[in-house]
Amino acid sequence: MALGNLILEFTRVSGFYPDIVMGGPAPLKALRKLGILEPQAKFFSCNRGRALLVRKGDPLDIRELADVARTGARVAQADSVEAGARAGNRAAIEALIGKAAADVFFANEVEHFAGRLGIAHRDVPEMIARGYADVGLTQYHLISYWARIFPNHFALVPIEGAERFRVKIAFGRVNDPLRPRAREAFEEFFFSRALEIYPKYDFARMNDDEYGAALALD
């Protein structure tokens, strides 16, 4: 990774290399195919699906998905930089309101803005704050976080039925880790706390059968 004249080398030789990878099933399975991860991961959290981000006071009175189309609101979402997220957004909205209504929902999507080569999740609140877009679409817990730390700028609008499209996140172990003792200690600590911590920040609560359940990556 090059940042101006600073180059960060992600290799085992440099030592700047992970011992664990946390993510959804699809990216973890992709890393397993490359031989990077062990064959089994463990689930530790589950999101609450998607929600809408609007300006504080909700000036367009957006209370549900249909209001985005009704008002012609400009939509912000992660683009090809995070293609999986974008495809997931589209699939969820189509399932909730149908393809024709989804086409209208995304009709005024903002695909570019000054200073960015692509739009990632973290760019969505900036687009709302700077007036590039009127409504953002992304994961519930991210919007909850932005609304909580910037209460004078943002508000969360829940999407009815969004919980049908929850995604579980798993803890993947890298093959032949550089810091095996540190990883073992962190994993023990992490799984002793995550079950209670994540729901406090608007993730879904997992039951005993879900939490720590194995995810086969092969």
Tell whether 99 and 203 lie within a shared domain.
no
Q: Are 37 and 94 in contact (CB under 8 A)?
A: no
Q: Which of 203, 199, 181, 179 is nearest to 49 (CA)?
A: 203
Q: Provide the mean pLDDT of the chain.
A: 94
Model confidence at 80, in pLDDT bands (50, 70, 90)?
Answer: low
Tell whether 200 and 123 lie within a shared domain.
no
Give CA–CA dist 104/91, Å, rounded. Answer: 14
Tell whether 160 and 173 lie within a shared domain.
no
Whole-model pTM? 0.88
Residues of the chain above pLDDT 90, percent: 85
Residue 132 domain boundaries:
50-164
pLDDT tens, position by position, 96-118: 999 999 999 999 999 888 877 77
DSSP 29: H
* Res. 74: pLDDT tops 80: yes
Tell whether 81 and 142 lie within a shared domain.
yes
Tell whether 59 and 157 lie within a shared domain.
yes
Burial per residue of 103-134, b for 16 or more beta-carbon CB atoms within 10 angstroms, e otherwise: ebbbebebeeeeeeeebebebbbbbbeeebbb
Tell whether 58 and 126 lie within a shared domain.
yes
Model confidence at 120, in pLDDT bands (50, 70, 90)?
Answer: confident
